[in-house]
Amino acid sequence: MSLAKFLAWGFVALAGAASSAAADPTVAGFRAFLETVRPEAAADGVSDKTFNKATANLEPDFKLPDLELSSRPKVDNSGQAEFTKTAADYISKPYMEKMATQGRAFFAQHRAALKRIEAASGVDPYILVAIWGRETAYGVYALPHDAIRVLATLAYAGRRKNLFRAEFIAALKMLEVGVPRSDMKSSWAGAVGLTQFMPTEFFKHAADGDGDGKIDIWRSVPDALASAARQLEGKGWVRGAAWGYEVQLGPRSDCALEGPPDERPIADWVKRGFTRANGKPFTAEQATHRAYLMMPAGAYGPAFLAPENFKVIRLYNTSDLYALFVGHLADRIRGGGDFQTPWANFQQPRTQTVHDLQARLKALGYPMDKTDGKIGSNTRKQIGLYQRAAGLKVDCWPSEAVLAHANANAQR
């Protein structure tokens, strides 16, 4: 590089750094941002009175996860257990046993309402109880944040601004229609109520489950459960179908078959030698259902065929582990036991390692839609395909060793 080019490059780099620093979110910028939202909120029915009352003295919360701040690492999944714990830790046997015991007591207490909701929606009531347990620890967990502050901050300084802008406006609309501000307690992502509804979902799916003519997802257990059922139904829940099946892989199959792109009828998986881990055969009807292979620990734990209802649960919270937790807890509440295949002893890699491996594989031509440091099915699949091509052990799991091999391969 010539001196002139070097100096020019340095000037651009410094200018870019200065621009980035100048663009860092501030309290003043937050106040200005709120005014840009006012016309959109008004168009959605939010009065100036409601808007002013909700935003008066409102300050951003720059301690939230998922914000674009220069002081934060770009690869940061803090606060998201679904991406920072191994599957074995996230779905630990002692914890699941405790949750199942509590779930059976909860089910018995609310059996009548759950049966009514099942008849109306077709959604498995055990799945609803499992969601309740995961989201609220059966009513013990209290949401710690103010939804208006959270959603406004994420809309202003988050990594998914457009998504949270819509949620912020919907939250303001909730205030407009009479939801008290004191009820707007939320998760760090702005989900409210007993089963943690995003505000846009509240307007689509909130339901009166106890028949009193009102919708109260904060204090009425039947309302919260009916709303969750209506949400799952709206996302495509298949009445009478399972959430998923633990399986044993066929003799010529491996974890690189994982993921929605390889979805096929269960009958085709059976032809490849896949069997249910509990030894039961698939019924003729089950064999017609389409499913994909899901292996949350790669080769280091149980494998599952994930049909439509698994995908529906995943739409409730976009995580393989969340959907697996809910499905497995539902089975345990129903009377089932542990997985047939135990978890191996394996380590959760550093988020940066996962990110760097995603980026390297993408550069090597492996389709990687995200380089976010999160271990999803596509990341596991592409690692497995790389390991196959390189003659390595196929375990579909990110590690420093695989990253080093991919880096060395890129330099050849």
Q: Which domains does the chain show, CATH number per domain?
A: 22-74+144-186 (no CATH), 351-410 (1.10.101)
Q: How far apart are CA 195 and CA 218, in angstroms?
A: 9
For residue 198, the SS3 value is coil
Q: How far apart are CA 147 and CA 192, in angstroms?
A: 7
Residue 185 tokens, joined? 């307690």
Residue 245 tokens, joined? 């099946």
pLDDT of residue 136: 87
Rounded to 5 degrees, what are φ and ψ at 292? -120, 160
Per-residue b or e along 78-94, where b marks 16 or more CB atoms closer than 10 Å to that residue's CB: eebebbbebbbebbeee
Lowest mean pLDDT among 141-145, 200-204, 226-230, 355-359: 141-145
Residue with more model confidence, 260 or 72: 260
| 375 contact partners, CB below 8 Å, separation of at least 6 | 83, 349, 354, 398
Mean pLDDT, residues 281-302: 97
pTM of this prediction? 0.87
Residue 29 tokens, joined? 């910028």
Summarised one tens digit per residue, pLDDT across range 330-369 is 999 999 999 999 999 888 899 999 999 999 999 999 999 8
| 259 contact partners, CB below 8 Å, separation of at least 6 | 292, 293, 294, 377, 378, 380, 381
Tell me the average pLDDT of the chain.
91
Summarised one tens digit per residue, pLDDT across range 86-95 is 899 999 999 9
Which band of pLDDT confidence, cut at 50, 70 and 90, is reported for residue 4? very low
Q: How far apart are CA 184 and CA 170, in angstroms?
A: 12
Summarised one tens digit per residue, pLDDT across range 309-336 is 999 999 988 889 999 999 999 999 999 9
pLDDT of residue 42: 98
Which band of pLDDT confidence, cut at 50, 70 and 90, is reported for residue 77? low
Residue with more model confidence, 345 or 294: 294
Q: Is the pLDDT of residue 74 over 70?
A: no
Contact 299/396 with Cβ under 8 angstroms?
A: yes
pLDDT of residue 344: 93
CB-side exposure of 51: number of CA atoms within 13 Å? 19
For residue 127, the SS3 value is helix
pLDDT of residue 5: 33
pLDDT of residue 81: 45
Q: Is the dihedral of CA 68, 72, 74, 76 positive or negative?
A: negative
| 58 contact partners, CB below 8 Å, separation of at least 6 | 34, 148, 149, 152
The residue assigned the tokens 């109520």 is 193
Residue with more model confidence, 121 or 66: 121
Residue 281 tokens, joined? 């055969």
Q: Is the pLDDT of residue 82 over 50?
A: no
Q: Is the pLDDT of residue 13 over 50?
A: no
Residue 130 tokens, joined? 């499992």
Lowest mean pLDDT among 12-16, 28-32, 163-167: 12-16
For residue 11, the SS3 value is helix
Judge residue 405's burial from the number of C-beta atoms within 10 Å of its C-beta, 0-12 exposed, 13-18 middle, 19 or more buried: middle
Mean pLDDT, residues 228-238: 96
Q: How far apart are CA 343 and CA 340, in angstroms?
A: 10
Closest C-alpha among 236, 332, 12 to residue 324: 332
Summarised one tens digit per residue, pLDDT across range 177-215 is 999 999 999 999 999 999 889 999 999 999 999 999 999
Q: How far apart are CA 108 and CA 199, in angstroms?
A: 30
Calculate Rg over the CA atoms of the chain: 24
Residue with more model confidence, 23 or 37: 37
CB atoms within 10 A of CB 192: 26
The residue assigned the tokens 């047939």 is 340
Which band of pLDDT confidence, cut at 50, 70 and 90, is reported for residue 370? confident
Q: Is the pLDDT of residue 220 over 90?
A: yes
Rounded to 5 degrees, what are φ and ψ at 240? 80, -5
Lowest mean pLDDT among 333-337, 368-372, 383-387: 368-372
Q: Is the pLDDT of residue 125 over 50?
A: yes
Residue 180 tokens, joined? 């008290």
Mean pLDDT, residues 232-246: 97
Beta-bridge mates of residue 293: 305
